[in-house]
Amino acid sequence: EDQVTQSPEALRLQEGESSSLNCSYTVSGLRGLFWYRQDPGKGPEFLFTLYSAGEEKEKERLKATLTKKESFLHITAPKPEDSATYLCAVQARSGNTPLVFGKGTRLSVIA
């Protein structure tokens, strides 16, 4: 069974204090690993897709990286507007498989 575990569950940072969120996964052949951002009361918003180990994607203060067993979302010099829950999801290669989501990391950035 495909599984995604995210850590920590919650993270509180001072503005400008860089850190990383972890996503560990097990999947029967990875088609893709996806990062989403979810603001309170809103639906998840797509951020990145990673397909193979060693791949990196960047967007503003966020950088996502991928290994064969985990992905990291690095947040550099975060701002209060980066506060949100970050969700990681995997999709298996076989057939028309849906995304399997982790429970997310709730990030709070304090000014």
Partner 1 sequence: DSGVTQTPKHLITATGQRVTLRCSPRSGDLSVYWYQQSLDQGLQFLIQYYNGEERAKGNILERFSAQQFPDLHSELNLSSLELGDSALYFCASSVVAGSGELFFGEGSRLTVL
* Minimum distance from residue 15 beta carbon to partner 1 (Å): 28
**How many other C-beta atoms are found inside a 10 Å radius of the C-beta of residue 95?**
6
* 72 vs 101 by CB, closer to partner 1: 101
43 versus 54: smaller Cβ distance to partner 1: 43
- Minimal distance in Å, beta carbon 20 to partner 1? 20
Interface positions with partner 1 (CB under 8 A): 31-32, 34, 41-46, 49, 87, 89, 91, 96-104
